[in-house]
Structure formats: structure tokens, C-alpha cells
Amino acid sequence: MPYHARLLVLTVAILVVSIPGFTQVADHFDTSRTVTVTGVAARLQIGTVRTMIVLRAEDEAGMEQRWVVEANGMAALTRDGWPERMGLGPGTVLTVTALPLRPTAAIDEVLAGAPEEYLEAARAGRFVRGLEATLADGTTRPLGSTD
């Protein structure tokens, strides 16, 4: 196969894989309301398309809950002022304002191939799209948008 044909096939494949990521916020998250969660960073999974933050938070009864916050990819977060690796280590306290999943979201489709921990959080209503995070020192930075 000629070089240009291979390049065209590769470009189309990348676009096909990328398009669902561009429509996910509007399709799967409720942009009409927000939730606020304060917790301790337990794990950070940084990616080029999206970053996942797992927070340990307590409910009203003092029971620990795991929340999964989807944020922009690292390049976009860096442009928005986050330091490398977001400056989040285990034990960092965050308050996150986020969009909840729509009740009608097909969780298994939205999170196909995701770790079981993400699926469990989504089924419990604790998988959210981060809009902004406030650190313990009061610094607030964006995590994503409603686009």
C-alpha cells in the first residue's frame, strides 16, 4: 500500500476513535446541574484525552465513598495552569464542582473497558465530569468544560 494511502487510513482511524470523546460531555453528563464533592485524592490516571481522579470522600453518615472525576487531558490542564501531574499526590484534599452522569446514560457503553472501580462509582451515581477543583490553599483551577 502506498505511503499516502496508509497515512489516509491512519488519519481516518484516529478520527473515528476520537469523535466519541468530543461528544461525551453533552451526551452523557447532565449539564443542567452540578454536584460538589470534597475528598482526598486516592489515585490519578493521566491521559492525553482525559484524566481520571479517584477521590475518597465521606457521606453524611461518615462512610467512605469512592468518587471518580473525569477531567481534560494533561495538555489542556497544563494550559489551564495545572502543574505537571497536576500537583496532586495521595492525600491531597480537593473540592470538585462537577456534572453528574445523566440518569439515562448507558454506563457500560460510556465506560466500556474502564476499570471496575469506575463502573461501580458510575452505578452508584459517583462518576462525574469535573468542571473545576479547589485545593486546600483556596487555589481554584479548571478541570473541564460543558462542551
* DSSP bridge pairs for 94: 39, 135
Position with higher pLDDT, 45 vs 26: 45
Q: Running DSSP on this structure, what letter comes out for residue 62?
A: S
Rounded distance between C-alpha atoms, residue 68 and residue 84, angstroms? 20
Question: Is the confidence at residue 90, as pLDDT, over 70?
Answer: yes
Mean pLDDT, residues 22-33 = 71
Rounded to whole angstroms, the Cα distance separating 82 from 145 reads: 15
Does the global pTM surpass 0.85?
Answer: no
Condensed to tens digits (0 to 9), the pLDDT of residues 29-44 reads 899 999 999 999 998 8
pLDDT of 111 over the 60 cut: yes
Q: What is the pLDDT of residue 9?
A: 47
Hey, what domains does the chain have and what are their CATH numbers?
Answer: 3-142 (2.40.50.140)
In the chain, % helix, strand, coil (3-state, to 5) comes to 35, 35, 35
> Does the pLDDT at position 85 exceed 70?
no
Query: Among positive and negative, which fits the CA dihedral 110, 131, 29, 72?
Result: negative
- Which pLDDT score is estimated for 20? 42
End-to-end CA gap in the chain: 38
Mean pLDDT, rounded, of the chain:
80
Q: How confident is the model at residue 14 (pLDDT cuts 50, 70, 90)?
A: very low
- Express as a percent the part of the chain with pLDDT over 90: 35
**Contact status, residue 90 vs residue 42, Cβ threshold 8 Å:** yes
Mean pLDDT value across residues 126-132: 94
Show Cβ contacts of residue 26 under 8 Å, excluding neighbours closer than 6 positions. Answer: 146, 147
Spatial contact of 15 and 88, defined as CB atoms under 8 Å apart: no
The DSSP secondary structure of 36-57, one letter per residue, reads: EEEEEEEEEE--SSEEEEEEEE
